[in-house]
Structure 1
Amino acid sequence: MGEPVSDLDEVRRLLDADGYAYLSELPTGFDHFAFVSRLGAVIPQYDGRPVWDLVAEPGMDDVYHSRNTRALVPHTEGYELAGRPPRYVALWCVRPAEGPGGETTLADGYALLERFGEADRRRMRDTLHTWRSSEGLARRGVVIEARHPVLSEHGGRVILRYSQNNVDPAGDELLGRLLDVGERFFAREHRAISIARNALLVWDNWRMIHSRNAFKDRGRHLKRVLVGA
């Protein structure tokens, strides 16, 4: 990316142009939370705290969960929330995984939508689906469910909700086709980013689909902040 990015205006430019910004070589003592908070209001995590620690949690290796070492499937964040999903997701690295894996993977969901015609996109706006929180959260007593279309809009911006495993197709041919095309699209088009120690990755959650590669090092530690619009 060339010179380190630490100017908020440049981050906003990259978010508009590419859907994400990766800030590396940040100075020691850089206040990631304060910087991210300048993008908008911070949304509480599932436990009510402003920051979610992404660390391997004991007893969670057999379920789909952000706090283990398994791969995640392509998704956007907050699809199961009653209101709008977070506009931005930010991750910064306290300790990267040693050995292979653990990369955050991103692909442009708006480019995925270009694979579908206008009639399909209208149906994606008009048809409600049931979105649910993950198995891992359910094990911790957090069960959230909401009804939303795949596509909605706010402030002139398209909002894409996407989950490879936590939305119920319920016999809907178009949703099934979206997930099938989306899985292959993501496998082909994603960019894998290994977030370096102290580096910060921010992306537009209304636009970008993301996942994570599996890894073995249980000492890997990232922090996550969600920002609203």
Structure 2
Amino acid sequence: MKYHHDHSISCHTVEQAKELLQTLGWAVLSPELVADRPEPLLKQFGSTVPQYDGNLQWEVRPAPGFEKVPYSQSKNGIGAHTEAPVYSPPPKYVVLHCRRQARCGGGQTMLADGLQFCKEHGGLQRFRQHEVTFVAAPSPGRPGTRVTVPLLTSHHNDPVFRFSYNLFKYGDVNPSEDALVDPQTALNRDFELVELANAAEEFFDRSGIAVLVPDGAALIWDNHRLMHSRSRFDDPQRHLTRYWLSPQ
């Protein structure tokens, strides 16, 4: 996996960031551009979308009760996924504003091209035809929202890719401890999806890029195109704020 660590290539203008979003699908917004007030800046990329709890931002930092699950408010790694697959459409962009990055060497955000993954694993048409019931609980163990939709759809003629390692393996985007211990309790027993989850791990190792977002900076990526994951970390002070943006 490639590791992105050159802070000098962070974007200092909105135009530069939009160009990288078109080409690479992601960009790092410099601390100077963010200026510790990301909300006004983000309006130039889209409209903020309420998240699972109804709020416009979500604090990504360790919280009690999630020590054993792959969840945003744990320290654990999180497998390949796209954000909010139960939304129609899912948010176009995901933004992580780094309040304080982990000092332990972990906590990288990994990105990989979901459309390229589709092309390498049966072609785009296979993913357009494969319907999946996505289940997303707002937090592990709580009732979840469901939607049945193909893995690859479109919105305004642009492709929209949905993926969730956790769902494919354990039956929920945010699985409970019970589902992790006994995957047979998972609601989704599609073994083809389990194979896709395993293939995504290999794809990330081969083609992914790991980004350790600098303090004060923000990472933005195209959620309709890219999958992302997270490496485990041990620093309890790691803190990022997440935003979801709709297309302009």
What TM-score does the superposition give when structure 2 sets the normalisation length?
A: 0.82
Residue aligned with 2:224, SS: coil
Residue aligned with 2:95, SS: strand
2:62 and 2:21 map into 1 onto residues whose CA distance is: 29
How far residue 23 of structure 1 moved from its aligned partner, in angstroms, is 1.9
Residue aligned with 2:219, SS: strand
Residue aligned with 2:148, SS: strand
Correspondence 1:109 to 2:109: no
- One-letter amino acid of the counterpart of residue 46, structure 1: Y
Equivalent residues, number = 223
How far residue 112 of structure 1 moved from its aligned partner, in angstroms, is 1.2
Which residue of the partner structure matches residue 191 of structure 1? Answer: 209
Correspondence 1:214 to 2:232: yes
Which residue of the partner structure matches residue 178 of structure 2? Answer: none
2:71 and 2:34 map into 1 onto residues whose CA distance is: 31
Which residue of the partner structure matches residue 89 of structure 1? Answer: 94
Q: Which moved more, 1:196-205 or 1:125-134?
A: 125-134
- One-letter amino acid of the counterpart of residue 155, structure 2: H
After superposition, residues 28-67 of structure 1 pair within 5 angstroms as 29-67=35-73
- Preserved CA contact (<8 Å) 2:31 2:218: no
Listed one character per residue, the Cα deviations across residues 143-172 of structure 1 (whole Å, up to 9, x for unaligned) are: 222111100011221111011121456446
1:3 and 1:115 map into 2 onto residues whose CA distance is: 30
Which residue of the partner structure matches residue 146 of structure 1? Answer: 147
C-alpha spacing 1:162/1:40, structure 2 compared with 1 (3 Å): same
Q: Flag structure 1 segments of 5+ consecutive residues without an equivalent.
A: none
- Preserved CA contact (<8 Å) 1:128 1:150: yes
- Preserved CA contact (<8 Å) 1:46 1:142: no
Residue aligned with 2:220, SS: strand
- Preserved CA contact (<8 Å) 2:20 2:26: yes
Alignment root-mean-square deviation, CA: 2.0
- One-letter amino acid of the counterpart of residue 164, structure 1: Y
- One-letter amino acid of the counterpart of residue 5, structure 1: C
Which residue of the partner structure matches residue 129 of structure 1? Answer: 132
Correspondence 1:7 to 2:13: yes
Correspondence 1:74 to 2:80: yes
2:145 and 2:217 map into 1 onto residues whose CA distance is: 31
Listed one character per residue, the Cα deviations across residues 182-204 of structure 1 (whole Å, up to 9, x for unaligned) are: 22111221111111110110000
Listed one character per residue, the Cα deviations across residues 91-113 of structure 1 (whole Å, up to 9, x for unaligned) are: 01111112120111111112212
Listed one character per residue, the Cα deviations across residues 21-77 of structure 1 (whole Å, up to 9, x for unaligned) are: 012342684421211122111101111111100010111112221101000001110
Aligned-pair identity (%): 30
Q: Flag structure 2 segments of 5+ consecutive residues without an equivalent.
A: 1-5, 172-187
- Preserved CA contact (<8 Å) 1:4 1:26: no
Q: Which moved more, 1:23-32 or 1:194-203?
A: 23-32
C-alpha spacing 1:131/1:27, structure 2 compared with 1 (3 Å): closer
What TM-score does the superposition give when structure 1 sets the normalisation length?
A: 0.89
Residue aligned with 1:183, SS: helix
